Amino acid sequence: MPTLLRAPRRVVRSRVYDSTRWSGYQPRESDIVIATYAKCGTTWTQRIVGMLVFQSAAPRPVWESSPWPDMRLFGPVEDELARAEAQTHRRFFKTHLPLEALPIYAGVKFIHVARDGRDAAMSLHNHLSHFTPATLTDLDAISRGDPKFGDDYPRVPSDPAAFFSNWVADGGGQGDDGASFYSMENSYWAERTNKNVLLVHYNDLKSDRDAEIRRIADFLEIEIPERLWPEIVAAAGFEAMKEQGDALMPNVHNLFDLGAARFLHKGTNGRWRGVFAAEDLERYDAQVRANFAPDLARWLERGRTGAGDPRGTAR
């Protein structure tokens, strides 16, 4: 087993995620962890990493290929970890937890994907406001059964502006500050010079998908035959993923109305303009100033191509 470099420094338990579910994780030196705040390009990156690992652009179910231990909705974590243990390919996990809530082992690589908070919140509203009744029933049961909460899972307002007004206050932590947008981004930014941590930005994946996929492949030390690159880059486009949604996410219809069509919704930035109230956007700006260093704030808004490589901003 790889050497434990650092045990988790904190427990994060929101209404949806629980860091203690990682306690039974059995690492392999080649493991990859894709770590994000929700709706920042997680599934996109899982698809990219999957194509690199399997050396193929053929669609395969993302959630079956990429275990997600901290997700409380998926039942007993033992089942999720057993599925991971049975995998013989290079494993790539998903998490929505900050780095300090995870164990760090030698050789395990982390890819953190970020997005402007306003875009993430706009996409998250679509996500949370379209759960199926069965999903809400399960979330209610988890929340009521947890002594930290003891009540039903809070319902999301249908108006995205009202949702954002609430989201700004706590960064959408869903019951734990550690799971908030603010905590997540600070956590991975602090490790931006760590050789086993790569920071990727949604904007850069949008503006130069080929270059960002190559950055990810280089970080993971995966060589792809040049003849496969056009196929992989094309398959990682949003429209291609949406067309293959049912193959990539065959079980998501259990969670969301419209299934994969809801989960892979728009894939665009800036939809919050003209939707969120001016006073709430001013509150967001104030939260950014209060919670983030200027270089992190610039990177979150503009990405690497607009604000520079995060590794280069470290002093």
- pLDDT of the chain, 315 residues: tens digit per residue: 899 999 999 999 999 999 999 999 999 999 999 999 999 999 999 999 999 999 999 999 888 899 999 999 988 999 999 999 999 999 999 999 999 999 999 999 999 999 999 999 998 998 888 888 889 999 999 999 999 999 999 999 999 999 999 999 999 999 999 999 999 999 999 999 999 999 999 999 999 999 999 999 999 999 999 999 999 999 998 888 878 777 887 777 677 664 445 555 455 677 889 999 999 999 999 999 999 999 999 999 999 999 999 987 664
d(CA 213, CA 229): 9
What is the per-residue pLDDT for 243? 80
d(CA 261, CA 242): 7
- pTM of the model as a whole: 0.94
Q: What is the CATH number of the domain that holds 248?
A: 3.40.50.300
User: What range does the domain containing 93 cover?
Assistant: 4-313
Q: Report the half-sphere exposure of 173 (CA within 13 A, side-chain side).
A: 17
Burial class (CB within 10 angstroms; exposed 0-12, middle 13-18, buried 19+) of 147? exposed
Predicted pLDDT of residue 259: 46
Which burial class, exposed, middle or buried, applies to 191 when counting CB atoms under 10 A from its CB (0-12, 13-18, 19+)? middle
What is the rounded CA–CA span in Å between residue 61 and residue 245?
Answer: 9
Predicted local confidence at residue 44, as pLDDT: 92
Q: Which two tokens stand for residue 251?
A: 């079980």
Count of domains for the chain = 1
Tell me the chain's radius of gyration from C-alpha atoms. Answer: 19
CA 283 to chain centre: 24
